Amino acid sequence: MAVASTSLASQLSGPKSLSQSYSGLRRSCPKLDHSHSPRSLFQHLHSHLSLSSSRKASRAVVAMAGTGKFFVGGNWKCNGTKDSISKLVSDLNSAKLEPDVDVVVAPPFLYLDQVKSSLTDRIEISGQNSWVGKGGAFTGEISVEQLKDIGCKWVILGHSERRHVIGEDDQFIGKKAAYALNEGLGVIACIGEKLEEREAGKTFDICFQQLKAFADAVPSWENIVVAYEPVWAIGTGKVASPQQAQEVHVAVRDWLKKNVSAEVASKTRIIYGGSVNGGNSAELAKEEDIDGFLVGGASLKGPEFATIVNAVTSKKVAA
How are beta strands 124-127 and 101-106 bridged, if at all? parallel
Pick from 229, 254, 291, 304: which binds ligand PGA (CB under 6 A)? 229
Shortest spacing between CB 96 and ligand PGA, in angstroms:
22
Instruction: Confirm or reject binding of residue 295 to ligand PGA (CB under 6 A).
Output: yes
φ, ψ for residue 318 (rounded to 5)? -65, 135
Instruction: Confirm or reject binding of residue 294 to ligand PGA (CB under 6 A).
Output: yes
Instruction: Confirm or reject binding of residue 290 to ligand PGA (CB under 6 A).
Output: no
Pick from 6, 65, 75, 105: which binds ligand PGA (CB under 6 A)? 75
Closest CA to 303 of 287, 283, 281: 281
Pick from 297, 305, 306, 310: which binds ligand PGA (CB under 6 A)? 297
Side-chain-side CA neighbours of residue 274 (13 Å): 28
Applying CB under 6 A, which part among 40-48, 90-98, 108-116, 291-299 lies near ligand PGA? 291-299
At residue 312, what is the residue type? V
The one catalytic residue in 161, 168, 193, 229 is: 229
Residues found in the chain: 319
Instruction: Confirm or reject binding of residue 80 to ligand PGA (CB under 6 A).
Output: no
Shortest spacing between CB 60 and ligand PGA, in angstroms:
28
Number of amino acids touching ligand PGA (CB under 6 A): 13
In whole angstroms, give the CA distance from residue 228 to residue 169.
17
Q: Is residue 250 classed as helix, strand or coil in its secondary structure?
A: helix
Instruction: Confirm or reject binding of residue 311 to ligand PGA (CB under 6 A).
Output: no
Catalytic residue status for 168 = no
Instruction: Confirm or reject binding of residue 268 to ligand PGA (CB under 6 A).
Output: no
Applying CB under 6 A, which part among 23-31, 90-98, 200-208, 293-301 lies near ligand PGA? 293-301
Catalytic residue status for 193 = no
In whole angstroms, give the CA distance from residue 311 to residue 291.
11
CB closer to ligand PGA out of 158 and 274: 274
Instruction: Confirm or reject binding of residue 124 to ligand PGA (CB under 6 A).
Output: no
CB closer to ligand PGA out of 143 and 275: 275
| Straight-line distance from the first to the last Cα atom of the chain, in angstroms, rounded to the nearest whole number | 43
Instruction: Confirm or reject binding of residue 188 to ligand PGA (CB under 6 A).
Output: no
Q: What is the CA radius of gyration of the chain?
A: 20
Q: Per-residue b/e over 231-268, b at no fewer than 16 CB within 10 Å?
A: bbbbeeeebbebebbbbbbbbbbbbbbbbbeeebbbeb
CB closer to ligand PGA out of 66 and 74: 74
List, in sequence order, every residue forming a beta bridge with 271; answer none if it has no partner.
227
DSSP state string for 212-240: HHHHHH-S-STTEEEEE--GGGTTTS-PP
Instruction: Confirm or reject binding of residue 235 to ligand PGA (CB under 6 A).
Output: yes
Applying CB under 6 A, which part among 38-46, 132-140, 181-189, 269-277 lies near ligand PGA? 269-277
Instruction: Confirm or reject binding of residue 240 to ligand PGA (CB under 6 A).
Output: no
Side-chain-side CA neighbours of residue 239 (13 Å): 22
Q: Catalytic amino acids?
A: 159, 229
- The residues that touch ligand PGA, with contacts defined as CB under 6 A, are 75, 229, 234-235, 273-276, 294-298
